[in-house]
Copies of this chain bind each other. A is one copy, B any other.
């Protein structure tokens, strides 16, 4: 069966976006089977009453997502593999919620402290100047899963403990109008210290998964510096990444 595509020119949604969404839905649904050709752009454009650049823009966005592959002289094919999450900058909270785990958060510290040298360097503020410090214990199914320490520059966000327990830090930032842009991450492992072990209900020296992250907004400001420890039996970093070409 042919795919029935259509665009609504009266909609404020861009035409290329309407098209790319329909194509993506068709791929997701299985109407467009992996490996199948998409049909050439010219004819597709004519069929929809669109110009070729518009159709190309729609297709290109799906190529960037890794769903399609174009080959000159051949055509555009649906990629065969199962593409899922292309590693977006997501919060642990969102990850857990997406996995249907109904995460719980216990805010243990929410205060203002002088910046340590490490924090000051990461956030780009003066050493000893005031920064927010938040420590949270993230639980799933009543069991501790991760211990999250975050530092934020002052005046960026008023951190309400109740809100922090109800949702993730990134959501609060986005809601406050902060446009997240990029983050530098470092993932490692180490043995748990006595304090860490107690917080996560592990034994001292037990292997922990660690992640340090500095997040920047689109003006280049550091908006968050996180130092997280995860129980490896409960959590691992899963993601899909694409080859930049």
Contact = CB atoms under 8 A, between A and B. Distances in A.
Interface in A192-245: 205-209, 216, 218-222, 230, 232, 235-244
Contact of A236 (B186, B205, B238): B186
A243 B181 contact: yes
**Identical copies of this chain, number:** 2
Give the size category of A's interface with B: 35 or more
Interface in A141-184: 180-184
A127 to B, nearest CB: 20
A79 B218 contact: yes
Interface stretch (A1-9, A81-89, A101-109): A81-89
A239 B185 contact: yes
A69 to B, nearest CB: 5
Contact of A181 (B53, B79, B184, B222): B79
Interface string A64-108: 101001000000000111011011110000000000000000000
Interface in A1-46: 34-35
A208 B88 CA distance: 25
A182 to B, nearest CB: 5
A12 to B, nearest CB: 15
A87 B87 contact: yes
Contacts of A207: 189-191, 206-208
A235 B243 CA distance: 22
In the A-B complex, the 3 residue pairs with the closest CB atoms: A80-B220, A207-B207, A188-B236
Interface of A: 34-35, 53, 64, 66, 69, 79-81, 83-84, 86-89, 180-191, 205-209, 216, 218-222, 230, 232, 235-244
